Amino acid sequence: MTQACAWDRAIASRLLAGDDTALAAAYDQYGSLVHGIATHLIGPERANDVTQEVFISLWERPERFDPDRGALRTFLAVLARRRAIDELRSSSRREAREHRSRNQVPETVPNVEEAALAVIAAERIRVALERLPAEQCQAIELAYFEGLTFKEVARATGSPEGTTKSRLRLGLGRLARDLADQADRGEPTWI
Amino acid sequence: MDLTPEERDELLAAWALDALDREDTRRIERVLAADPELAAQGQELRNVVALLGESVAVTPPPELRSDLLDRAASTGPATIEPTDPLSLLETQIEALHEVLVQLDDEGWTRPVDPYPWSVHGLVAHLLVIERYTRVQLGLDPPGRTEGPTGHLELGVDEIEARQAGSPIDTRTAWRDAATATVAALRAGHGPSPDGTVDFHGFALTVGNLAIVRAFEIWTHADDIRRAVERQVVDPAPADLRAMSRLSVRSLPVVLPLVAPEADFGGARVVLTGAGGGTFDLGEATNRDVLVVADVIDYCRFAARRMSREQLAPVIEGDRETADHLFAAARVLAI
């Protein structure tokens, strides 16, 4: 599923028209995703700034999201991660990690339905990751959750760069198939 | 440097994970730009990567939402500036003239829905309205438009007579009168910019009158295109912005005409597409309804050239208020 759904398209056209209730709707739908990605990489305090930047960017330049090229979830997730990594790289990595460990439990608001969905999603993805061969899982985790380039992953794991790229490709491919299989079995998924 | 299929696939996975340095990112993005199939595969992988983020989703603190919306209220996407009213009118006059000069003899005799006139008769009607407009603007002395003053009743005898004559003469007379009106207003003749003009009982500024005239001329140009089986034409976004903005902003003013008993609080109208925009009507804190529609479709609906079903608006909130707004949108369609 590459293209955006009807809801994404409606939100995109309303944002282009300057409707801030569409921004609120997008935030309500994907705020946790964006904030979670940023929190994981740089800690909750700076994640607030990144979350706000991501949605302000969507608001001020809505034309950058093209529903013909992909889903809003993907667009925001990529943007959140990129902004968080920029933030991470602009400061000392050590400082960011310390900051993150000090604030491991972010202040959250109970939202039962959203929390339940997030728990289900997180569990499915965790299971899918665990099914990967260890070296593929490690490469993906270092690249995605630690914000490393594949060359940095190679150095961190002591593996050749070519091997690391292959692990990312094979791991991501397996992950995609596993999540698609869950969908085929009728299990609710996000894909 | 060309990439082998294997290099391409490996770079694609790392690209989807945002795990490439700048140079490799540029390499793969050059390939993606030239290969839509590969770009779609890359997007599929990015969808999977986005799901990884769900595993770490965290509800943001509540104040973040209000801070974000406060910040958004003071900024926003760039909207298209509306065409100035006289340029808009000039553009629509020339667009209609362009349609008319291409008509053959048979085309001039085609009936025009929803009027009892041929194409020739409709252009004669426009000439009559142009003369009426000039009188209302004070550009011509009164007395040339005696008799009924309803928009469709004006000058019916002249319309009848002109339909028996030369369509080229009618076309020339209409265009000369219309362009003379624009030229006179540009030269500062007529009412002051702050003054209002009575146009069929509505008090309009000169600028708004020019927009109303442009809206009518665009609508009739499409009527004639349909009559001679040509494609209708969407106005340029800046022109649409000018016409739709006036139409939507006039809704609270004309609402009492269609729903005198209604207690209107507020509404947001979102017109999507190039030339659209977001309009808050009434009290922003007392919003009864949100209406979303395509801007071109809205304009055609307001001109009574599209049904409510065809418009297919999204309505969130009080449907009765939405019904009143839609009825009001058509009041100025003449």
Residues B204 and B256 in one domain: no
Beta carbons of B54 and A33 less than 8 Å apart: yes
Beta carbons of A150 and B12 less than 8 Å apart: no
Q: Using pLDDT thresholds of 50, 70 and 90, give the confidence band for residue A10.
A: very high
- Averaged pLDDT for residues A16-40: 94
> What DSSP designation does B111 have?
B
- Averaged pLDDT for residues A58-75: 91
Q: Using pLDDT thresholds of 50, 70 and 90, give the confidence band for residue A86.
A: confident
Position A126 scores a pLDDT of 79
Position A109 scores a pLDDT of 37
- Averaged pLDDT for residues B7-23: 89
Q: Give the model confidence (pLDDT) of A91-139 as tens digits.
A: 655 565 555 555 544 333 334 454 455 566 677 787 888 889 999 999 9
Position A101 scores a pLDDT of 53
State which of A101-105, B8-12, B275-279 shows the largest mean pLDDT: B275-279
Residues B175 and B57 in one domain: no
A9 contacts chain B (CB < 8 A):
no
> What DSSP designation does A110 have?
-
Q: Give the model confidence (pLDDT) of B213-224 as tens digits.
A: 999 999 999 999
Q: Give the model confidence (pLDDT) of B79-90 as tens digits.
A: 889 999 999 999
Distance from CA of B123 to the nearest CA of A (A): 35
Q: SS3 breakdown of chain B: % helix, strand, coil, rounded to 5?
A: 60, 10, 30
The answer to whether residue B103 scores a pLDDT higher than 50 is yes
Beta carbons of B9 and A179 less than 8 Å apart: no
The answer to whether residue A45 scores a pLDDT higher than 90 is no
Q: Using pLDDT thresholds of 50, 70 and 90, give the confidence band for residue B192.
A: confident
- Distance from C-alpha of B150 to C-alpha of B56, rounded to nearest angstrom: 67
Would you say residue B246 lies in a domain?
Answer: no
Residue B217, Ramachandran bin (φ over 0: left; ψ between -120 and 50: alpha; else beta): alpha
Position B8 scores a pLDDT of 87
Interface predicted TM-score of the whole assembly (ipTM), two decimals: 0.79
- Distance from C-alpha of B53 to C-alpha of B58, rounded to nearest angstrom: 10
Contact B31, B38 (CB under 8 A): yes
CATH code of the domain in which B65 resides: 1.10.10
Residues B26 and B160 in one domain: no
Q: Locate tokens 């000169």: which residue?
A: B206
Beta carbons of A17 and B270 less than 8 Å apart: yes
For residue B325, give both structure tokens.
């707004």
Closest CA to A26 of A56, A1, A49: A56
- Chain B positions touching A145 (Cβ under 8 A) are 52, 56
Beta carbons of B13 and A106 less than 8 Å apart: no
Contact B199, B209 (CB under 8 A): yes
- Averaged pLDDT for residues B232-258: 94
- Residue B282: burial class (beta carbons within 10 Å; 0-12, 13-18, 19+): middle
The answer to whether residue B182 scores a pLDDT higher than 90 is yes
Distance from CA of B241 to the nearest CA of A (A): 11
Q: Give the model confidence (pLDDT) of B49-74 as tens digits.
A: 888 888 888 999 999 999 999 999 88
Contact A190, B51 (CB under 8 A): yes
Residues B96 and B133 in one domain: yes
Residues B203 and B137 in one domain: yes
* Percentage of residues in chain B having pLDDT higher than 90: 65
Beta carbons of A55 and B68 less than 8 Å apart: yes
Residues B186 and B162 in one domain: yes
Write the DSSP string, A28-72. HHHHHHHHHHHHHHH-HHHHHHHHHHHHHHHHH-GGG--TTT--H
Confidence (pTM): 0.81
Q: How many domains in chain B? A: 3
Residues B321 and B291 in one domain: yes
Position A100 scores a pLDDT of 54
Would you say residue B241 lies in a domain?
Answer: no
CB atoms near residue A101 (< 10 Å):
9
- Chain A positions touching B19 (Cβ under 8 A) are 143-144, 148-150, 153, 168
Distance from CA of B228 to the nearest CA of A (A): 33
The answer to whether residue A74 scores a pLDDT higher than 50 is yes
Position A120 scores a pLDDT of 66
Beta carbons of A71 and B76 less than 8 Å apart: no
Closest residue in B to A128 (Cα–Cα) = B52
How far is C-alpha B62 from the geometric centre of its chain's CA atoms?
A: 38
Would you say residue B80 lies in a domain?
Answer: no
Domain that holds residue B285: 252-329
Would you say residue B239 lies in a domain?
Answer: no
Nearest to B57 among A36, A61, A148 (CB): A36
Residues B104 and B49 in one domain: no
The answer to whether residue B245 scores a pLDDT higher than 50 is yes
Distance from CA of B321 to the nearest CA of A (A): 19
Mean pLDDT of chain A: 81
Beta carbons of B13 and A61 less than 8 Å apart: no
Position B286 scores a pLDDT of 78
Q: How far apart are the first and last CA of chain B?
A: 64
Residues B223 and B322 in one domain: no
For residue B331, give both structure tokens.
């009041």
- Averaged pLDDT for residues B296-312: 96
* Rounded alpha-carbon distances, angstroms, from residue B77 to A71, A159, B203, B270: 20, 46, 33, 14
Closest residue in A to B17 (Cα–Cα) = A144
For residue B83, give both structure tokens.
């065409």
Would you say residue B79 lies in a domain?
Answer: no
- Distance from C-alpha of B147 to C-alpha of A60, rounded to nearest angstrom: 54
- Chain A positions touching B9 (Cβ under 8 A) are 169
Residues B195 and B263 in one domain: no
Position A112 scores a pLDDT of 45
- Residue A171: burial class (beta carbons within 10 Å; 0-12, 13-18, 19+): buried
Position A106 scores a pLDDT of 38
Closest CA to B117 of B162, B166, B168, B70: B162
Would you say residue B238 lies in a domain?
Answer: no
- Structural domains for chain A: 1-108 (1.10.1740.10), 109-191 (1.10.10.10)
- Chain B positions touching A118 (Cβ under 8 A) are 54, 57
The answer to whether residue B44 scores a pLDDT higher than 70 is yes
Residues B61 and B116 in one domain: no
CA dihedral of residues B321, B217, B192, B242 (deg, nearest 10): 50
Q: Using pLDDT thresholds of 50, 70 and 90, give the confidence band for residue B153.
A: confident
Residues B36 and B98 in one domain: no
How far is C-alpha B176 from the geometric centre of its chain's CA atoms?
A: 26
Which residues in B36-67 are b (16+ Cβ under 10 Å) and which e?
eebbebbbbbbbbbbbbbbbbbbbbbeebbee
For residue A50, give both structure tokens.
């990144």
A vs B: CB pairs below 8 A: 224
* Percentage of residues in chain B having pLDDT higher than 70: 97
A36 contacts chain B (CB < 8 A):
yes
Domain boundary among B42, B69, B96: B69
Position B232 scores a pLDDT of 95
To the nearest 10 degrees (0 to 180), the angle between helices A72-90 and A20-42 is 40
A114 contacts chain B (CB < 8 A):
yes
